[in-house]
Amino acid sequence: MQFQLLATKGHARAGLLTLPHGTVETPVFMPVGTLGSVKAMVASELEAIGFPIILNNAFHVYLRPGADVIAEAGGLHRFQNWKRPILTDSGGFQVFSLAKLRKVTDEGVHFQSPIDGSKHFFTPESVIALEETLGPDIAMVLDDVVANPATYDEAALAMERSVDWAARAAAMRSRADQAVFGIVQGGLHEELRRRSAQATVAVGFDGYAIGGLSVGEPPEEMYPMVEVCRAELPVDRPRYLMGVGTPQDLRAGVARGVDMFDCVLPTRLARHHVAVTNEGNLNLMNARFKRDFTPLEEGCGCTTCQGYTRAYLHHLSKCGEISGARLLTYHNLYFYSELMRELREEILGD
């Protein structure tokens, strides 16, 4: 992996991230393909929109279809016909969300599958081995995530455990062609965030993620934590804000020096009949769109806006047609791609 900074404006950065399966222009938004599929989309559509990288989740593809199946297929890229870079999340947040189905210890995480109840055990070492089998361009280490708000002691325990796990994961690495990112934790406590960032950088990774945010706290509490982490992270490595994805949050994150983002929001909103536009979110179930024969967004170049009206999308939504979710997903992802392109151009153009 190589990361080159091309321009800065304040703390905002524009760069090039070179990976085995291609070059990624930053800042970048990564569509979430949890199970090896960005919901309602196929690879060619994501390429047509212009996404240079997507996210898969190691936890979920470990459960289904299994690492052995993906290895037999030739790795994640061949399995899902995606020829550009892939980042795999380790599953720390997914394990956290299992609540009563998991038990976290210093050694690792015991959990039951939410699919069939089978018992599993993840360690920092086993997750890195799993991700090396899956073959993404970037692998995330296993971390311990706590809900916000968390007490100082709760956040400190999870932070210290995450640092220990990061060191164990780094020692396990064996693939020179796969980048590995460490994850900064610490809840909403500045001191813990600072200590976590310093300790994770001391371990040494190809890039650094800011985790444990956008899990219940308002933006005015999240943004200062991003700033604390940025101040401690190296300038010459990519910075990734995990799971954060409203347009407002993307702008705020870029302004605070973040290079990479992911979130399920644009695809999830589409499945709930909501289009993301510059005038705000539009719920296409609303009766006011029944005879609105304009596109979702005037001037938008996406396939949806070029060929379909709000009235038609309202009709598809009301009837529960799968094509409605597909068309809205395409538009929402196009909107996010264009937003990141515009932010990058603003930075490059000073």
Indicate if 262 belongs to the active site. yes
Who contacts 313 (Cβ-Cβ below 8 Å, separation ≥6)? 275, 284, 289, 296, 304, 324, 327, 328
| Dist CA 211 CA 86 (whole Å) | 18
Spatial contact of 208 and 239, defined as CB atoms under 8 Å apart: yes
Distances (CA, A) of 337 to 38, 83, 244, 265: 14, 18, 15, 13
Q: Considering only CA atoms, give the Rg of the chain.
A: 20
Structure tokens at 49: 């929109």
DSSP state, 249? H
**Upper half-sphere CA count for residue 335 (Cβ side, 13 Å):** 29
Distance between CA atoms of residues 64 and 75, nearest Å: 14
Rounded distance, CA 195 to CA 295, Å?
49
Residue of 144, 206, 249, 262 with catalytic role? 262
Distance of alpha carbon 248 from the chain centroid: 16
Which residue out of 89, 143, 206, 259 is catalytically annotated? 89
Element of type H or E holding 55 = strand 54-57
| Distance, CA of 185 to CA of 192 (rounded, Å) | 8
Q: Minimal CA–CA distance to 172: which of 132, 219, 201?
A: 132
Phi, psi dihedral angles at 219 (to 5 degrees): -55, -35
Beta bridge partners of 17: 3, 24
Q: Is 89 a catalytic residue?
A: yes
User: Three-state SS across 98-130?
Assistant: CHHHEEECCCCEEEECCCCCCEEEECHHHHHHH
* Residues belonging to the active site: 89, 262
